[in-house]
Amino acid sequence: MTEIKEDQKTHREKRKEYTYNKLKGLGQEIIENIEKQKVPSIRVPSRGTGNIVYDDAKRYYVLGDRYGRRSLGNVKQIRKLGQMVYVANFCKDLVAREKTATIREMYYVSEGWGISFKTQQESNIVGEDLEVTLGTTREDLGLMPEEDGASVYGDITLLDDGVEINAAKTGKSGYTISPTIDQVEFLDCGVERVIAVETMGMFHRMVQENAHKRFNTLIVGLKGQAARATRRFIKRVNEEIGLPVYICNDGDPWGFHIAQVIISGSAKLAHVNHDLATPDAKFMGVTASDIINYDLPTDKLKDVDVMRLKELSKDPRYKSDFWQTEIKKMLKIGKKAEQQSFSKYGLEYVVDTYFPQKLEELEN
């Protein structure tokens, strides 16, 4: 782990230097244009659906090569360009002082700029535009979401803001994954894998049943759709420590999607999927086959579920034989099931029986 720790420090320092220089360079480019009596403009890659491409080699969505320009010579773009410059300057100060601000705080700070946003959604979009323009992440810019990530429980020791924390010794709720997870160092790790579960109910069941010891695993509770910090944590432990990742979600199209966003990224965040996606992660269940094989309690698929399954079947992230088979099978049986449905056989069944069988299937 010593080499990993040194690599983490070097990587973090390089990211900070890169981000600061990109922010500074953006301002210098505008100043140089003015000095040369040119109309200042900023090249902004397009985030439209026509410029979002699934990369088969990388196994996640990326941005294509289309871009536009925001120019002070265009009356309709003056306000948007001004907002972008103010946000960039705000972020440059955050990076220089090693500070962070929530995207909500930035929205209120902007009230004093004289070029305020109409809504927070508008300011969020400008922040995302800055991400993609500079080729960096919102977190590197010092901007954080309001919510923390999810929780992790198991034998991993982290250095968070100068404090050593072992995620198996922080109480039953585990270690809360911070939005600043890239500033956290991994000091030591005594597990062989990661099992991520969609619901916190399943997370707590696994903790109660000592699943972290029984499977020598980190348990990650996703809290539904995984926050960026959670996806980044999973990506880091997979890439930096070499832990295989398994994802167990509800057996419905929404659970499938939550897992696939972790595996192959999202179209909306195509510009940062290289930092968030974990292409080697494996879906552990609940599948349509599980519903049949384990005779699970089910709910009938709603029209919206059927529509979503049909959409997934056409999505390039689901083109493998595994996903195509499971989607067709779920449509055929017309049923869906939650993780907690295994409780039909007792509270301990999911840890005593289901997880061991699934791990044996996936690892052999």
Active site residues: 108
Tokens of 145: 């979401």
Angle at CA 140, nearest 5°, toward 137 and 145?
75
Which strand (E) or helix (H) includes residue 121? Answer: helix 120-134
Cβ(136)–Cβ(164) under 8 Å? no
Neighbours of 148 (CB within 10 A): 17
Give the separation between CA 1 and CA 277, rounded to whole angstroms. 23
From the list 12, 28, 160, 8, the residue with the least C-alpha distance to 95 is 12
d(CA 138, CA 201): 30
Residues 6+ apart with CB under 8 A from 78: 72
Q: Which of 217, 205, 249, 174 is nearest to 352 (CA)?
A: 205
Residue 86 tokens read as 């103010």
346's tokens: 């007792």
3 state SS of 250: coil
Angular region, 71: left φ>0, alpha ψ -120 to 50, beta rest: beta
User: How many H helices and E strands in the chain?
Assistant: 14, 17
**Phi, psi (rounded to 5 degrees) for 29:** -65, -40
Which stretches within the chain are classed as H helix? 2-35, 78-96, 103-109, 120-134, 200-208, 211-214, 228-236, 253-264, 273-276, 288-293, 303-314, 321-333, 349, 355-363
